[in-house]
Amino acid sequence: MTGSSQQELNAAAEDANDSPNDSKKAGPRCLVLALLLTVIPLLVAAVAVFVVLVIFANGGLLHSMSSQRLDRLAVEIEAFYMTEGEYPETLKALGLPGNEIYDVTRGLWSSGAAGNFYYRRSENGQAYDVLGVGWDGAPFTDDDLLPDPKLSR
């Protein structure tokens, strides 16, 4: 055999040896890519579910914010009664900023006054109801948010 023929055979043998190694290297790369394409969406979905539960579920962030606002509102309503001798006709009569009478849990799907806490005063002005209407949007149902009873008479 001539020198150039031997070199050609050696080069061909090296190419043959490289091909299986390249496919062995590509196998783990494909596996990693497949895992990433599977795991990342699952992680994103899990985080999204967690965030929704933390923000929207009872005891969640928005529920807590509405509960605090409702308690402050009950204190303001009682203070109005102490100075005026009757409860206010509307929540706006308290003179609070609009966001103080706004129920953040209700406001997610309602705009304007429909997002406010529910308020009803008796005809004689000596009693009232104030509450967050909950997810169903109807007052006086099981999902309503009520102020701390210690804050009102």
The domain containing residue 109 runs over which residues?
61-151
Q: Which residues pair with 42 in a beta bridge?
A: none
More confident residue, 11 or 103: 103
**Domains contained in the chain, number:** 2
Please tell me the least confidently modeled range out of 95-104, 106-115, 122-131: 106-115
For residues 98-124, give the mean pLDDT. 75
The enclosing domain of 71 has a CATH number of 3.30.700
Q: Which residues pair with 121 in a beta bridge?
A: 128
71 and 52 fall within a common domain = no
CA dist list (Å): 30 to 24, 27, 37, 38: 10, 5, 10, 12
**C-alpha closest to that of 77 among 133, 114, 125:** 125
Please tell me the least confidently modeled range out of 42-56, 67-81, 99-113: 99-113
